[in-house]
């Protein structure tokens, strides 16, 4: 069973991402590995764009519903079964999937794992045997980007920048009325506020032990997400 899953993972994620990276590397003038990662990241984000938009709209709708959820929690605080039933009914009535954000994260996690494998092992000459028959073998991939940064090694600056972008990306999703009003915030809201600071910190810690190619992917992906969130949230305000 494990071997089967590994084969599926290689077939659906690792090999397509690895070959896409090599194709871009082969055809990009100058063969700058950093630019290759930026292009590949943008392509991935555009592929995931419909899912990301749906998740973002759902998360924003959840934030809008927060006062109603708090009201239900106060009303049925002594009846957990009724509380769960009424909360689920509210989601159903408003046609909101509370797990859509988690779904997006679950989709991106295997991609991150595959990219980690590509950047950690795929750059070795012997791993180029994973290329498709129609992809030219570059013999060797130079991981040095912009003539300065070795993207096969961790980079403190990339890790910190990725953490900062993660913070602003998360902060955009928190309405001021919920974040600033501690007395009316329920346990879920308090946890969300803690995550606002915890996830950026965790991002920095994780990236400090990974190839900075992953950090560059995280940075470009974060910038893409912030622009995407700004555009969608602005569009929602215009509709309102």
- Cα separation, 66 vs 47, whole angstroms: 31
Higher pLDDT, 194 or 214: 214
Banded pLDDT at 75 (limits 50, 70, 90):
confident
Q: What is the mean pLDDT of the chain?
A: 82
Counting the structural domains of the chain, the total is 1
- pLDDT greater than 70 at residue 238: no
Given this model, what pLDDT does residue 179 score?
A: 42
Question: How many residues comprise the chain?
Answer: 240
- pLDDT greater than 60 at residue 31: yes
Pull the structure tokens for residue 29: 């003038």
- Cα separation, 167 vs 159, whole angstroms: 13
CB 114, CB 17: distance < 8 Å: yes
Any idea what the Cα angle at residue 119 is, between residues 218 and 12, rounded to 5°?
90
CB 41, CB 59: distance < 8 Å: no
**Residue burial 163-183, b: 16+ Cβ < 10 Å; e: rest:** bebbbebbeebbeeebbeeee
DSSP class of residue 127 equals G
Q: Quick one: residue 95, left, alpha or beta (phi over 0 = left, psi -120 to 50 = alpha)? A: left
- Cα separation, 173 vs 213, whole angstroms: 27
Any idea what the Cα angle at residue 169 is, between residues 54 and 120, rounded to 5°?
95
Banded pLDDT at 34 (limits 50, 70, 90):
very high
- pLDDT greater than 60 at residue 156: yes
Given this model, what pLDDT does residue 125 score?
A: 77
If you search the block for the tokens 């980690």, which residue do you land on?
A: 116
- pLDDT greater than 90 at residue 77: no
Q: What is the pLDDT of residues 164-202, one digit of tens each?
A: 999 988 887 665 444 444 444 455 566 667 777 888 999
Any idea what the Cα angle at residue 157 is, between residues 48 and 171, rounded to 5°?
50
What domain range includes position 136?
A: 2-239
Q: Quick one: residue 230, left, alpha or beta (phi over 0 = left, psi -120 to 50 = alpha)? A: alpha
Given this model, what pLDDT does residue 43 score?
A: 93
CB 91, CB 97: distance < 8 Å: yes
- Cα separation, 132 vs 15, whole angstroms: 8
Q: What is the pLDDT of residues 3-28, one digit of tens each?
A: 888 888 888 899 999 999 999 999 99
If you search the block for the tokens 């595959």, which residue do you land on?
A: 114
Per-residue pLDDT averaged across 60-88, rounded? 80
């Amino acid at each position: 069973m494990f071997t089967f899953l590994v084969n599926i993972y290689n077939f659906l994620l690792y090999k397509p991402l690895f070959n896409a990276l090599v194709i871009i590397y082969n055809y990009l003038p100058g063969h700058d590995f950093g630019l290759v990662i930026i292009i590949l990241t943008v392509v991935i984000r555009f592929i995931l764009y419909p899912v990301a938009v749906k998740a973002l709209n759902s998360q924003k709708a959840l934030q809008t519903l927060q006062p109603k959820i708090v009201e239900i929690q106060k009303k049925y605080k002594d009846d957990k079964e009724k509380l769960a039933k009424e909360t689920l009914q509210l989601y159903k009535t408003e046609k909101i999937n509370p797990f859509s954000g988690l779904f997006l994260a679950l989709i991106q996690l295997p991609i991150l794992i595959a990219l980690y494998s590509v950047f950690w092992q795929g750059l070795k000459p012997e791993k180029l045997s994973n290329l498709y028959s129609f992809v030219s073998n570059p013999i060797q991939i130079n991981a040095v980007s912009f003539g300065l940064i070795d993207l096969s090694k961790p980079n403190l600056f990339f890790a910190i920048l990725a953490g900062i972008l993660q913070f602003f990306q998360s902060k955009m999703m928190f309405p001021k009325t919920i974040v600033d009003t501690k007395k009316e915030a329920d346990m879920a809201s308090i946890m969300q506020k803690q995550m606002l600071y915890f996830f950026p910190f965790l991002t920095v810690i994780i990236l400090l032990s990974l190839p900075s190619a992953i950090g560059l992917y995280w940075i470009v992906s974060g910038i893409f997400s912030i622009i995407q969130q700004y555009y969608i949230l602005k569009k929602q305000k215009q509709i309102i």
